Structure 1
């Protein structure tokens, strides 16, 4: 109950703006009761983030299961779109790059690495082992990491009237399939 309420407040107002007094008021209990379960605000924030990242992980597992048996490009695309959508929903990129508690930023970066990037690395290594990728999997992983992080913190989605997930889908298509379209030699402009 405490973690649920803290999550609602933290994500609505921002971690730094919510005090333990605010949370106690929201829950109708004393701060002392909250502190019996969580020794400090940082441990409560970690519990909230653990809950959020567990939900992200469940979504990614479901996306991977749904894409099982699909062509490799479809599997990569579905995984990355799910990852981008989920990370955007919880504001992970802003948490990892924003001002504030260094330990919080480090924690978010570690969770993103464990939940998202290790799976991306495995997916690309698997594709490389199957002979489906001509580029080194490490290069594709690095490009994908950079695109994901940049699109989640960029103003480009707003400028292009699109979501970060939509732009990530386009980025994945470009990385996996190339940016140059086949042109009929007789129909060049």
Structure 2
């Protein structure tokens, strides 16, 4: 699926356009862009709406420009996470999923894709998440399957992981369990990679991998 282009940016002064996009990102996505007007943005910038509209013809195009910048940052982070030659496959998956979940949570992608508001922008967010995150994830699992490192079909792992990641980004579990979002992401990744059920009781043969809790990490790190 090709990403629909919703940006329509005219930037005779690129530097000023960058300033506008940076301010819009701070204002639109903190309380939710539907509740922040172009008047609010103009006051924040100390410039007229007419000046803003010379660069961005409407609010939709400005929001799209903000999203373009945010997803470019997500893509850079994921590219760095993928660049791990020589590391075991499970570590590569862990690095990628934790980076993806952290970045998507930071920009509020799940809320944007499922919330109310402009239908075209919701579709845009969904397509960018698919292109930037999930296509990379699919290829990572296919690579593991080709190398005979996965006993589960890569398509099934992709579906399980997508669902878990999207649900976790909108979940109340961090508050209910008193875990950080990063702790929950690590536990989710460990569960996807290793499962949640031991094949033998503790002490009976080889120790099985288990999901590490925040308390485990605190004890290991010490005071």
TM-score range, shorter chain: over 0.9
Measured in 2, the distance between the counterparts of 1:162 and 1:53 equals: 26
Measured in 2, the distance between the counterparts of 1:123 and 1:185 equals: 33
Matched-pair contact (CA < 8 Å) for 1:96–1:109: yes
Equivalent residue, structure 2, for 1:15: 33
Q: Please report the RMSD computed on the Cα atoms of aligned residues, expressed in angstroms.
A: 1.3
**TM-score, length-scaled by structure 2:** 0.80
SS in 1 for 2:29: helix
SS in 2 for 1:2: helix
The structure that has the greater radius of gyration is 2
Residue of 81, 85, 89 corresponding to 1:63? 81
Unaligned stretches of 5+ in structure 1? none
How many residue pairs match? The answer is: 185
Where has structure 1 moved over 3 Å in runs of 4 or more? Answer: none
The answer as to 2:94 corresponding to 1:77 is yes
Unaligned stretches of 5+ in structure 2? 1-18, 206-223
Equivalent residue, structure 2, for 1:93: 110
Equivalent residue, structure 1, for 2:64: 46
Measured in 2, the distance between the counterparts of 1:107 and 1:138 equals: 24
Measured in 1, the distance between the counterparts of 2:98 and 2:132 equals: 14
For 1:176-187, list aligned pairs within 5 A: 176-181=193-198, 182-183=200-201, 184-185=203-204
Matched-pair contact (CA < 8 Å) for 1:147–1:168: no
Which structure has the highest helix share of the two? Answer: 1
Residue of 136, 154, 157 corresponding to 2:171? 154
Measured in 2, the distance between the counterparts of 1:118 and 1:139 equals: 14
